[in-house]
Structure 1
Amino acid sequence: MQLRGKTAIITGAGSGIGKAIAELFAREGAAVVIAAHNDNGKSVADAINKNGGKALFLKTDVTSAASVKRTVELTIKTYKRIDILVNNAGIMPQGTVELMSEKDWDLVIDTNLKSIFLTGKYAVPSLRKTGKAAIINIASEWGLTGGQGVAAYCASKGGVINLTRAMALDHARMGIRVNCICPGPIKTKMLTNFFTKQELGIIATMVPLGRIGTPEEIANVALFLASDASSYVTGSIISADGGDSAGFYDAGDR
């Protein structure tokens, strides 16, 4: 077990990528804190515990300093330490800068970007005590290239990428590694709520590997970054997108 004896906080772990990360980390021996804003997180935690893992559901509003602070404090109270922080919580409402309301813009930035500031602010003091900790931020390929009709999402994920670099430099001598994963199209509710079935089929043909990825494939990358296998990796932005960000791909060649 690669994470035996470690404790991980995972935001947005009630579904999708966060859920897959929590389940994999638990199988690898970590005690996982499911920090989610709805009760789906409780079902995830209950299933992990039923299968012999260790999980705690803490209802968390990642846009609220008080809520994030409480989650960190309860994690330390329960497990005495924090070794891994996975910032996965995110939303993707549609809208151009012309059409999106200021309220919706602020909610996207607060959920996707400010939340990483808040979790870091309250978790870093505990992370640094371990002398060997990891922060993993989940961004998006649209933080690298931009995407149409989701201006706030793209802005927030671009911010996540550069915040990752800054945090890696700021906390390296504390023994905290900070890295970022940029998923491409992944089979989650976020994707299926945004695109039609027909559109998803077209997207799959445009990915060089010829398919849409799974949450479990992103979880495998997160496990690498959380484990000692990546002990010399920090400040890295890892694309897990089936080759999407490599460049133009002529789907007619398939």
Structure 2
Amino acid sequence: MATGRRFDGRAAIVTGGGGGLGLAIARRLADEGASVLLADMNIALAEQAAGELAETGATAIASRVDVTNGDSVEAMVTTSMTAFGRIDILVNSAGIGEQVSFLKQRSEDFERIVAVNLTGSYRCVRSVAPAMIAAGQGTVINISSVAGLTGISGRVGYGSSKHGVVGLTRTLAIELAPFGIRVNAVAPGPVDTAMVAQVHTETTRSTYTRNIPLARYGLPEEIAAAAAFLASDDASYITGHTLPVDGGFASTGAMFDPD
């Protein structure tokens, strides 16, 4: 439960906001006072989530977005500016992944993962940057992964895209700093979300858990807390950083085939 309202008067866009980590982050930002646009491919989910946030007294709206489509991203930004008149925070949480060995993965699936996770994040930052530059401030939170910090067998597409997100974060932090815009990333370890439930078998879960020093999967709320910290003025001198929130998994340097 949040203990303060660090985001009163601020507006945020959260992609992938219809569920999972995106919704948890949107909920945390709204709980601390932000007006939030929940953007998702599944507009029904986004509208349901926005409605639930609105019932708590938060200002929340929904927008359909396909982060692989430039016109769709621009429409999302226009919707946010029309509704809130500003964009202070962008959280790039939209993402996809799969568990498959390199030799079995189809090239089109690899390209689709990169298009959503990496190019989609780039496209969203590129579209919100003019509003943030005009305001002289802003913060971007990219969702990477421990798979973007170490090699994990069976995650070639996902891991490659998330390594790219770390590189994107560092480069944008340098280029956007003169405009008062901070860019950071969160690198979650295994977290109990619907997407993880679809990808991780019982064998996968037990193998991960044995390799996590805290010996458990994370909670979406724990990732949201880290994202909220990086988005807040409490992190005003932090940019270009990727924060692992993984129960210590990345520190082990574990590389394995969970199945």
- Letter of the structure 2 residue corresponding to residue 24 of structure 1: R
- Does structure 1 residue 3 correspond to structure 2 residue 22? no
TM-score when normalising by structure 2: 0.93
Structure 2: which amino acid aligns with 1:229? D
Aligned residues with identical type, % of pairs = 38
Native 8 Å contact 2:211 2:252 kept in 1: no
What code does the residue aligned with 2:216 have?
R
CA distance in structure 1 between the aligned counterparts of 2:207 and 2:154, rounded to whole angstroms? 18
Mean CA deviation greater in 91-100 or 164-173 = 91-100
Query: Is 1:112 equivalent to 2:117 in the alignment?
Result: yes
The one of 171, 181, 202 aligned to 1:197: 202
The count of corresponding residues between Structure 1 and Structure 2 is 249
Determine if the alignment matches structure 1 residue 81 to structure 2 residue 86: yes
Rounded Cα–Cα distance in structure 2 between residues aligned with 1:146 and 1:12: 25
Q: Does 1:93 align with 2:98?
A: yes
1:248 Cα offset (Å) = 5.5
Of the candidates 53, 56, 71, which is equivalent to residue 51 of structure 1? 56
Q: TM-score, normalised by structure 1?
A: 0.94
Q: Per-residue displacement from partner, 1:118-153 (whole Å, max 9, x unpaired)? A: 111110000122322100000000111121112111
Matches of 1:109 and 1:96, distance apart in 2: 16
Shift of 1:178: 0.2
CA deviations on 1:62-98 (whole Å, 9 max, x unpaired) are: 1100000000011101110000000011101233343
2:220 to 215, 223, 246: 215
8 Å Cα contact 2:141/2:183 also seen in 1: yes
* Alignment gaps of 5+ in structure 1: 250-254
1: CA distance between counterparts of 2:179 and 2:96? Answer: 31
Aligned equivalent of 2:31: 27
Relative to structure 1, the CA distance from residue 155 to residue 248 in structure 2 (aligned partners, 3 Å threshold; closer, same or farther) is closer
Deviation (angstroms), 1:193: 1.2
Alpha-carbon distance in 2 for matches of 1:97, 1:157: 16
1:36 and 2:40 equivalent? yes
Map 1:63-212 to 2 at 5 A: 63-212=68-217
Closer, same or farther in 2 for the Cα pair 1:248/1:164, shift >3 Å?
Answer: closer
**Cα offset, 1:247, TM superposition:** 2.3
Does structure 1 conserve the Cα–Cα contact (< 8 Å) formed by 2:147 and 2:155?
A: no
Aligned-pair RMSD on alpha carbons? 1.3
C-alpha distance in structure 2 between counterparts of 1:197 and 1:99, whole Å: 21
For residues 140-198 of structure 1, give each alpha carbon's deviation from its aligned partner in whole angstroms, at most 9, with x where no partner exists: 00111121112111110000000100000000010000001110111112221112235
Amino acid at match of 2:191: I
